[in-house]
Amino acid sequence: MKPIDWEIKTADGNARSGILRTRRSVIETPVFMPVGTQASVKGVRFEWLENEMDARIILGNTYHLYLRPGVDIFKQVGGLHRFSTWDRSYLTDSGGFQVFSLNDLRRLTEEGVEFRSHLDGSKKFLSPEVSMEIQAALGSEIVMVFDECPPGDAGHEATRKSLELTARWAKRSRVRFDRLQVDGDDLGHIEADGLSGHQSLFGIVQGAGHLDLRDESLERTVDIGFDGYAIGGLSVGEEKSVMYGVLEHIASKMPADAPRYLMGVGTPEDLLEAVSHGVDMFDCVMPTRNGRTGGAFTSSGKINIRNARFAADREPLDAECKCSVCQRYSRAYLRHLYQAGEMAAATLISHHNLFFYLDLMKKTREAIRNHQFDVFKKNFLDGLAENDTVDV
């Protein structure tokens, strides 16, 4: 099978800038992928993501889409792209992370996980094979292996057991995935859309905060062989120093000739830290989750628009930001919208936040190409002064 179409254009220290080509879009890396849990990036129209932010890839969540609207609907309408009208790339997660968040609603066996739907209590089952089948029906460009996600504070022995199960599941994911690329559900509508090319499969390195287990998980995952490699199990409640320690330890050891993806992380500072260790891809709910609660990311730090100090502030959220929200609306007006319970407050701040994240990655790519990444990172961190509490 043809490996993923990926090339590094420039390396600057461990940081690298590259190009990833899928059957639907050309993705410049490092890249931030907005999260579209329900095949919708919360509060933000695809038109804005396409035209103003130039997002080339977004996420869909297998767990949520499996429960609602369900796989049959995707088979009938011809996959996630036709259903949602997003015709650039999708990355779908495996459903594992969400299932393992349902502590008292699940039963884990070697075969897979039985759980009750949080929507109606009905019994459901996910396994490596089922997850690959769902992701084939969704027709995403990048598919994630089905893994077990141990809690961030899991002990050494529990984490080892978990990563051994994850390695066995990764192998089963690979086998089922390869078969589906030959006779899968998505092939018909991919051809009908005038596209060619298979889905890509990414493996996931687990091991929580235990560096020896991270090494072991990486070795086992690389042995199976994937198109890209993800770092899972971070930003799940551990101390930031633990996360940064894992990134420093493992990222540059991951295969250099494949994209590296840090799952579910994080703040703008976290992204730059990870890029400095050689990570290429990111996703996180923070821009939209904070947008809904009044938290805005700016070049001078995090602010919360609920703060009374913004009541008559005629400045935009971020004077340096080129987004259409900052070109037009003041902090005072956005604060008023939030206080009045207007839904526009959430959509406008989410819009700004996503623009800010995508723009940060664009500037990061430029800095790497100019071999100025360290200076860029330092200047960015030096500029962070405002420090309101926002949700993380």
For 350, phi then psi, to 5°, come to -60, -45
Residue 165 Cα distances to 94, 112, 128, 223, 227, angstroms: 15, 10, 11, 15, 21
Size of interface with Zn ion, in residues (CB under 5 A)? 5
Span from 118-126, 135-143, 288-296, 315-323 in contact with Zn ion (CB under 5 A): 315-323
* Catalytic-role residue among 12, 185, 280, 283: 283
Burial of 75 from C-beta contacts in 10 A (0-12 / 13-18 / 19+): middle
326 binds Zn ion (CB under 5 A): yes
User: In this structure, what DSSP letter does residue 386 have?
Assistant: E
339: exposed, middle or buried (Cβ count in 10 Å: 0-12, 13-18, 19+):
middle
Active site residue 93: yes
Q: Note whether 352 binds Zn ion by CB under 5 A.
A: yes
> Which of residues 254 and 321 has its CB atom nearest to Zn ion in the complex?
321
Tokens read off for 378: 């330092």
Residue choice 35, 99, 323, 358 for contact with Zn ion (CB under 5 A)? 323
Smallest gap from residue 296 Cβ to Zn ion (A): 8
268-307 footprint of Zn ion as x/- string (CB under 5 A): ----------------------------------------
- Which is nearer to Zn ion, 298 or 364 (by Cβ)? 298
Is 283 designated active site?
yes
Q: Are 68 and 373 spatial neighbours (Cβ–Cβ below 8 Å)? A: no
Give the bridge partners for 376, in sequence order: none
Find out whether 340 and 30 touch, Cβ atoms under 8 Å: no
What phi and psi values does residue 298 have, to the nearest 5 degrees?
A: -135, 170
321 binds Zn ion (CB under 5 A): yes
Binding to Zn ion (CB under 5 A) within 146-205 occurs at none
Gap between the Cα atoms of 363 and 106, Å rounded: 43
Annotated catalytic residue within 12, 93, 147, 280: 93
The two three-digit tokens of residue 56, written as one number: 């080339």
- Binding window for Zn ion (CB under 5 A); candidates: 78-86, 276-284, 348-356, 381-389: 348-356
Measured from the CB atom, the residue of 81 and 331 that comes closer to Zn ion is 331
Residues with catalytic roles? 93, 283
- The site for Zn ion (CB under 5 A) is made up of 321, 323, 325-326, 352
